[in-house]
Structure 1
Amino acid sequence: MRITFILPGYPWRPVGGYRVVYEYANHLVAKGHDVTVVHPRKMRQTPRPVGLYQVFRTAAKRGRDFLLRPKLEWQWLDPRVKMVYVREPIAQYVPDGDVVFATAWQTAEYVAKYPLSKGRKFYLIQAYEIWGGPKAQVDATWRFPMKKVVIAKWLFEKGLELGVPAEEMRHIPNGIDLKKFHITTDITNRPRRVSMLYSNTEWKGSVDGIRALEVVKKEFPELRTVFFGTPSRPASLPDWIEYYKNPPQETLVEEIYNGSSIFLCPSWTEGWGLPGAEAMACGCALVSTDTGGVHDYAIHNETALLSPPRDPQALAENLCRLLNDDILRVRLAEAGCANIQYFTWDRATEALLEFITSG
């Protein structure tokens, strides 16, 4: 089959939703399918810049995107996957095919208007994106006449709430590359070290994570902490927090995940939560907010410790539980790692193919 994915931008930095699409692309071409991933420079829903700084910043980004093409260093991509960069994801820039996937609410508005020659229309829903667009507009895309693949149980339930027929949706959880993300350091022999993904995006909850760790640090002064992320190290970050900017895959797996006993996820919302799942595959015990996006793999007191979003004190209490009880930490880490073995890209790709060929 000829399968096209429409992403909402260029892959200049690591983005979880892009990684999901690239993993599907890799596995689909390995099965003999012809896959194209389209990346637009702009989309009509992009808000106009406000203020002189934003005007110049937007102009600089557009100039960069016009002149340059990203070198995809943060994700391996099968050379058979066609990477296409276009001005805008309108039909004339999209190849004809058998299947076309929207991958964000903005791209869904474009895909909905494509002619039949572009293929049967599907919508890969990876989040409830009201943080990225007007709620009424985002909700309307869920009701477009195209079949939906949702990556988490809570998104399936959200679809039902929005009036999407159950038969129009398929719940296909993400996968983890278990050849990359695996245990190299014995779970029972790890330091008191907590790792966390840092982001400037407010709903990722990094401020809450730092506040929780400051509480824990008072009780456990010897606690070591390591953050990683795409931004430069924030000036406000406490000196006792180690920081890696854009760590290579090997560093992430060996030094950060396998070098930690606990992984902290303080997000206010998540579509599925790839870093938490990756950390579990590498033997970390997971302390997370109860975002819904972790429910596919995180069960409170069985494979993780969960607490309400936007509550740093509750996160701190769960961290202290594990730091005070190594038997509990090991039990959760082992159960979490065993559970995450189900989530493979082979399984996800087979389910995706079954759905798009089922009529």
Structure 2
Amino acid sequence: MINGIGKLVYEQRVEKLKNAYEQRLIQTNRQIVMLHVVYVVANPSICGATKIIFDQANKLIEKGIAVTIVSYGERPTWYQLKAHYIEVPSKLRISLLIPKCHIIIATYYTHIQECIETEIAPVIYFEQGDIHLFNYEKLKVDHKGFVYTQFQLPKFIMTVSQLTARLIKQYFKRDAKIIPNAIDPNTFNNKWTEENYKCEEKYLLIMGREDVVFKGIEEVVAVFNGLKELNKELKLYWITPYPPSKSFECIISKVIINPSQNQISQLFKGATFYISASYYESFSLPVLEAMASGCPVISADNEGVKEYGIDRYNLLLYEKGNLQDMAKNMLELMKNDRLRDNLVKNGFLTVEKYNWKDSIEKLYEYLCQIAQYEVLTCHMLKNNNPKRGFNNMLEIFDYANELYKNEVYEEAIYFLNEFINYGSSNTDKKIEAYRLRYWAYYFLDNLKEARQQCFLTFELGIPQMKECCFLGQSFLDEARIEEASFWFEKAID
């Protein structure tokens, strides 16, 4: 298993590298009434990187941009997402459900190539930092080559910090636009309300996935277990997207799975302090959110947190991996109230520099510039056709069905036509395709064409009750009572 990529999927992607090509764009002067941006997101579960994507999406919508999130997994409940959300079934490639748009933002390097191959719109790669960047020189040769190639494909790259921009330049010889992270002061602040987390316990707070080793969760648990002998009343709370293994049950006091943003803010406010033990970070958003909530912070001295974190000014830093150093900072912070107060005060001052007003304005201007580009169709792909590499016509039907269910009606109609015109011998599937097609036109408010498509089903046999009811409803929508009555009567004959 290669980090973040299943072995089979990874091998398939490496095999496709021979067809990889840099996206070719042409600059235009096109006028766009409403800009439509699509974020391609691999995993919608709670984490700092996903939260930044969703924050950007919501803020862009507030500025009048249409935003769609295309992702595996159900629409997240931990975040109040305003964007249109398309859930991709696990059996499909994520790029297959990308709708027509002006800009595609690939949010993980494994999706860059397939986003470009759609040839729908200019692709921006949004790099927030992960093991493939922080530990690039230690990757296996083939994986290293795969990552390097992906970074060469898009014309545009954006990132969140000076650190990640520097690494992108160092390893891949590419420039990246920096769009700084920011926090939402309406959620993360030091205002106490009746909804704030009510807890008489003294607890330390950690956040992150157990299976991501570089997050250092096991190290914090080990140090806490030792300190617990000195203070039996001290508790450890853990925010995580997935239930942890049973080995931690006797040590962790409380596990909070996929909490809402308001719940996280409340947990910060009630914590004695927050600990980030991550070896690698591009920016470390939770640390900044803790500061905004008035929660003292202890952090490993990764380069990302040092983008804004200053030891003994707004947080305590310890040498990453040095458990003795971590424990020393914990003990000091628990005993030194004056130090705690100073860290909190200076944390508030730090947070003021990272606001969404400035950050989203930079992103908005950047997107408006890129929206002036259009894709030049590339003929380097062997199977460059509208079927996007499907193996058979039933796969096209399944794909069209998913587009329909996700309300991407125009593209659904296109692929339903592909299936119907092919002349499938599967009559039941063909009837189903006809029905999806006329309903798609109906939902596009094209009643005349919807009825026309419905009448075509009669070629497959005598009118069925579903078609008669549909025709009746379509005429009723136009207040054409006589025609509506005729078809409703036909339905019950």
The bucket for the TM-score relative to the shorter chain is 0.7 to 0.9
2:168 equivalent to 1:159 = yes
Task: Label 1:213 to 1:223 Cα distance change in 2 as closer, same or farther (>3 A).
Answer: same
2:190 equivalent to 1:183 = yes
Task: Label 1:93 to 1:331 Cα distance change in 2 as closer, same or farther (>3 A).
Answer: same
| Residues 108 and 141, structure 1, Cα contact 8 Å, conserved in 2 | yes
CA distance in 2 between counterparts of 1:358 and 1:250 reads 35
Larger CA deviation: 341-350 vs 229-238: 229-238
More strand by share: 1
Aligned-pair CA distance for 1:174: 1.4
Task: Label 1:358 to 1:299 Cα distance change in 2 as closer, same or farther (>3 A).
Answer: farther
CA RMSD of aligned residues (A): 2.6
Task: Label 1:238 to 1:97 Cα distance change in 2 as closer, same or farther (>3 A).
Answer: closer
Aligned-pair CA distance for 1:37: 1.4
Matched residue of 2:247: which SS?
A: coil
| Residues 231 and 245, structure 1, Cα contact 8 Å, conserved in 2 | no
2:126 equivalent to 1:138 = no
Deviations 1:144-171 (A, max 9, x none): 3422111122101101211434xx3112
Deviations 1:172-204 (A, max 9, x none): 221211101111459xxx985321115212221
- Correspondence for 1:65: none
Matched residue of 2:177: which SS?
A: strand
- Correspondence for 2:94: 89
- Correspondence for 2:263: 251
CA distance in 1 between counterparts of 2:149 and 2:322 reads 32
Task: Label 1:150 to 1:77 Cα distance change in 2 as closer, same or farther (>3 A).
Answer: same
Residues 151-230 of structure 1: matches in 2 within 5 Å? Answer: 151-165=160-174, 168-184=175-191, 193-201=203-211, 202-230=213-241
Deviations 1:94-115 (A, max 9, x none): 2232221110011112223342
| Residues 142 and 162, structure 1, Cα contact 8 Å, conserved in 2 | no
Larger CA deviation: 136-145 vs 286-295: 136-145
Task: Label 1:222 to 1:177 Cα distance change in 2 as closer, same or farther (>3 A).
Answer: same
| Residues 16 and 274, structure 1, Cα contact 8 Å, conserved in 2 | yes
Residues 282-301 of structure 1: matches in 2 within 5 Å? Answer: 282-301=293-312
- Residue identity (%): 21
1:180 partner amino acid: T
Q: Which has the higher contact order (CA 8 A, sep 6+)?
A: 1
CA distance in 2 between counterparts of 1:277 and 1:135 reads 32
Aligned-pair CA distance for 1:71: 4.1
Aligned-pair CA distance for 1:220: 4.0
Matched residue of 1:295: which SS?
A: helix
CA distance in 2 between counterparts of 1:251 and 1:22 reads 17
CA distance in 2 between counterparts of 1:174 and 1:219 reads 38
Which consecutive residues of structure 2, in runs of 5 or more, have no partner in the other structure?
1-34, 194-199, 371-493
CA distance in 1 between counterparts of 2:241 and 2:172 reads 37
2:309 equivalent to 1:305 = no
| Residues 75 and 87, structure 2, Cα contact 8 Å, conserved in 1 | no
Which consecutive residues of structure 1, in runs of 5 or more, have no partner in the other structure?
41-68
CA distance in 2 between counterparts of 1:137 and 1:341 reads 39
CA distance in 1 between counterparts of 2:103 and 2:154 reads 14
Larger Rg: 1 or 2? 2
- The aligned length equals 318
- Correspondence for 2:406: none
Aligned-pair CA distance for 1:206: 0.6
Deviations 1:59-118 (A, max 9, x none): xxxxxxxxxx6242111011xx2212332133x532232221110011112223342xx2
1:128 partner amino acid: D
1:196 partner amino acid: I
Matched residue of 1:271: which SS?
A: coil
CA distance in 1 between counterparts of 2:67 and 2:365 reads 17
1:70 corresponds, among 60, 69, 74, to 74
1:266 partner amino acid: A
| Residues 47 and 241, structure 2, Cα contact 8 Å, conserved in 1 | no
Task: Label 1:8 to 1:225 Cα distance change in 2 as closer, same or farther (>3 A).
Answer: closer
Task: Label 1:140 to 1:311 Cα distance change in 2 as closer, same or farther (>3 A).
Answer: farther
CA distance in 2 between counterparts of 1:97 and 1:198 reads 33
- Correspondence for 2:113: 109
